[in-house]
């Protein structure tokens, strides 16, 4: 009886606590994101990307004499599996397209997608773009739910947004915040940056997940955080949906992004520079250099022109200009609005192939099959430039990437394609390469 009385007393004491959280206040329902999230979360998926990497072995095991002496001539290299976790969002239920980040699925041998209802599916990579960190996957399943796409151009600082993903492997985690800033760039995260900044908590595992507005529309793809202390400090970044969709459409149509060459160097237009040029507004970018014979040169652009629009999309600063250029493929027609000597002009160009003069790598040596090679000069350095590389090219095993400038092979200087051909004719294998990648000089020992 005492125990029963205690239980009853406990229930009586709990009742007022439950009553303190009413579903309504003053006859009005309490605000809640739950109805919107019930529509959105079925479109959010968990992504597990696995790849096999060669395990590090003792250096003696790579010596042929050592293997022969100890009777281990056919030793099979040991491998270990590596897995990365991330998030994604279904954007096309009929065709099974899932949008995520490139870095979530980079170099994956197998990609597994877990749906909201627990189904596990093997995904195929449709295409990926490292420069914008966008990737598209395809899954085959019925009863999929897709998110409606929002217009990220309509976002304003202060708008409420919600981030959904699988941080630290915790599935279907929801955080909320506001748009803290728009057009963030210069962070060194990606090649083309025009981020939405938000204080909605984004953590490892959120990458590739959706950023939605309060209508449940997809307005961004969560991609990175600024974490000086290693944890979330309320500064997260998402790829604007308008940019992600443009990249996605090209990946679906072509499987890759073949960016062309326009041939200009630009700088931002600040108020001081605008005043010196006699301009009333400081919006746009100033052309500082035009490459001779380039698409821009043939279109008639000149140093000192102020670009204010590309394909009728306003250009207010350098990041916006870079983003517009990032969406253009080889052969695309582009219309550029410029201000020259106070007069607004409209110029027309066709994006050129930056690798038009490059040669197939197999013409140099079979090891370079699947890559394009050309002779270029970057500043005072001359070398063999690596153009586009096929995904399965043996060149990738050397650690080379698109647009690397090959300077040294096996401790011999490479300035021309003839130098590389001569080295490969006399060498049994490549032991070392030295390349210029961006502004970094990289030396790689090939085992």
CA terminus-to-terminus distance, the chain? 79
The reply to whether 133 belongs to the active site is: yes
The residues with which 51 forms a beta bridge, in sequence order, are 82
Give the rounded distance of the alpha carbon of 253 from its chain centre.
18
- Report the C-alpha gap between 400 and 368 in whole angstroms: 10
Which entry of 129, 133, 337, 404 is annotated as an active-site residue? 133
The residues with which 177 forms a beta bridge, in sequence order, are 161
Closest CA to 349 of 420, 278, 301, 410: 301
Structural contact between residues 386 and 372, judged by C-beta atoms closer than 8 angstroms:
yes
Which entry of 87, 103, 129, 337 is annotated as an active-site residue? 103
- Report the C-alpha gap between 239 and 23 in whole angstroms: 36
Residue 207's contacts (CB-CB under 8 Å, 6 or more residues apart) are: 86, 87, 100, 101, 103, 104, 165, 222, 223, 224
Which entry of 152, 180, 201, 207 is annotated as an active-site residue? 207
Residue 194's contacts (CB-CB under 8 Å, 6 or more residues apart) are: 183, 184, 185, 239, 240, 243, 319, 320, 322, 323
Q: Which helix (H) or strand (E) holds 188?
A: none
Ramachandran region, residue 270 (left: φ > 0; alpha: ψ -120 to 50; beta: rest):
beta
- How far CA 413 is from CA of 366, 379, 384, 445, in Å, comes to 20, 17, 10, 16
The reply to whether 402 belongs to the active site is: no
DSSP letter, residue 77? P
Q: Which two tokens stand for residue 64?
A: 């042929």
Q: ∠ at Cα 390 (389, 394), nearest 5°?
A: 85
- Report the C-alpha gap between 336 and 262 in whole angstroms: 11
Helix/strand/coil percentages in the chain, nearest 5: 25, 40, 40
Q: Which residue has the tokens 């790689």?
A: 444
Residue 137's φ and ψ, nearest 5 degrees, are -110, 160
Annotated catalytic sites, by residue? Answer: 103, 133, 207
């Amino acid at each position: 009886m005492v125990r029963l009385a205690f239980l009853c007393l406990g229930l009586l004491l709990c009742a007022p606590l439950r009553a303190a959280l009413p579903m309504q206040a003053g006859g009005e329902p309490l605000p809640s994101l739950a109805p919107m999230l019930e529509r959105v979360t079925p479109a959010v998926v968990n992504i597990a990307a696995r790849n096999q990497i060669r395990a590090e072995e003792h250096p003696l095991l790579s010596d042929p004499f050592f293997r022969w002496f100890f009777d281990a001539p056919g030793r099979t290299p040991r491998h270990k599996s590596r897995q990365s976790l991330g998030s994604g969002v279904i954007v096309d239920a009929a065709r099974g397209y899932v949008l995520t980040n490139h870095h979530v699925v980079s170099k994956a041998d197998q990609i597994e997608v877990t749906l909201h209802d627990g189904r596990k599916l093997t995904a195929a990579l449709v295409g990926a773009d490292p420069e914008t960190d966008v990737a598209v996957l395809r899954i085959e399943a019925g009863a999929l739910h897709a998110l409606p796409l929002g217009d990220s151009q309509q976002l304003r600082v202060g708008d409420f947004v919600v981030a959904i993903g699988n941080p630290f492997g915790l599935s279907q985690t929801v955080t909320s915040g506001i748009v803290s800033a728009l057009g963030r760039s210069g962070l060194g995260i990606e090649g083309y940056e025009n981020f939405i900044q938000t204080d909605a908590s984004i953590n490892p595992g959120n990458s590739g997940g959706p950023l939605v507005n309060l209508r449940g529309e997809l307005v961004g793809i969560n991609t990175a955080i600024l974490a000086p202390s290693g944890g979330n400090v309320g500064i997260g970044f998402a790829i604007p949906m308008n940019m992600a969709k443009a990249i996605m459409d090209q990946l679906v149509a072509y499987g890759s992004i073949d960016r062309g060459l326009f041939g200009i160097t630009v700088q931002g237009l600040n108020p001081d520079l605008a005043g010196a040029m006699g301009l009333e507004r400081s919006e746009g970018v100033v052309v500082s250099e035009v490459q001779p014979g380039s698409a821009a040169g043939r279109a008639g652009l000149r140093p000192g022109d102020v670009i204010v629009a590309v394909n009728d999309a306003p250009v207010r600063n350098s990041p916006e200009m870079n983003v517009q250029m990032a969406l253009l493929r080889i052969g695309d027609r582009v219309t550029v609005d410029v201000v020259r000597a106070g007069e607004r002009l409209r110029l027309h160009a066709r994006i050129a192939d930056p690798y038009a003069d490059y040669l197939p790598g197999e013409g140099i040596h079979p090891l370079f099959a699947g890559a394009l090679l050309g002779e270029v000069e970057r500043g005072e350095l001359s070398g063999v430039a690596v153009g586009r590389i096929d995904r399965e090219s043996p060149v990738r095993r050397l650690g080379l990437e698109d647009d690397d400038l090959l300077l040294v092979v096996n401790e011999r200087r490479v300035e021309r394609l003839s130098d590389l051909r001569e080295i490969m004719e006399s060498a049994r294998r490549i032991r070392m390469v030295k390349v210029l990648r961006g502004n970094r000089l990289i030396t790689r020992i090939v085992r």
